[in-house]
Amino acid sequence: MTSYMQKKETVERKWYVIDASGVSLGRVASKAAHILRGKHKATFTPHIDCGDYIIIINADKVKLTGNKLEDKKYYSHSGYPGGLRERTAKEMVEKYPVEMVEKAVKGMLPKNRLGRQMYRKLFVYTGDTHPHMAQKPEMLEVK
């Protein structure tokens, strides 16, 4: 008996919308990464990008539990000496909510060229509107 291996030409992609308002950041990110990877499909093939497109709306209303607003740090480095920049989660929620959600999802994807290809199918917006209505996306419930 042989295993089914999907080909990249035969992948059918759908569009999904996740409303992040009032939902924990980790739950939103793990659900998005699961669908971007394609693990929700019966035809999942590890070496093929068989995932779907994800639109995350209301990224500015995502919830962080516990003391994460003060304790969680986001680091980025410019590459120059002394170029380390440190931001708290509170600052990220207020000023850069899209970047915070994107970073959470990207951390749950594979760290190779296949993961970068999957990451390109993620769209994050702060408001409850998005420019992808022509694709007729389905709403996904995240608990």
Q: pLDDT tens for residues 72-108?
A: 999 999 999 999 999 999 999 999 999 999 999 999 9
In whole angstroms, what is the distance from residue 96 CA to residue 80 CA?
A: 23
Domain count, the chain: 1
Mean pLDDT for 46-65 is 96
CA dihedral 23, 28, 29, 34 (to 10 degrees): 160
The tokens for 3 are: 């295993």
Average pLDDT over residues 135-142: 96
Lowest pLDDT segment from 3-12, 65-74, 123-132: 3-12
pTM: 0.93
CA distance 64 to 26: 9
pLDDT mean over 59-73? 96
Does residue 1 belong to any structural domain of this protein? no
How far is Cα of residue 130 from the mean position of the Cα atoms in its chain? Answer: 15
Domain that holds residue 47: 13-140
What CATH number did the domain enclosing 100 receive?
Answer: 3.90.1180.10
User: How far is Cα 84 from Cα 138, in angstroms, rounded to an integer?
Assistant: 40
Tens digit of pLDDT for each residue in 1-48?
788 899 999 999 999 999 999 999 999 999 999 999 999 999 999 999
Among 38, 25, 14, 46, CA closest to 103:
25
* Residue 59 within a domain: yes
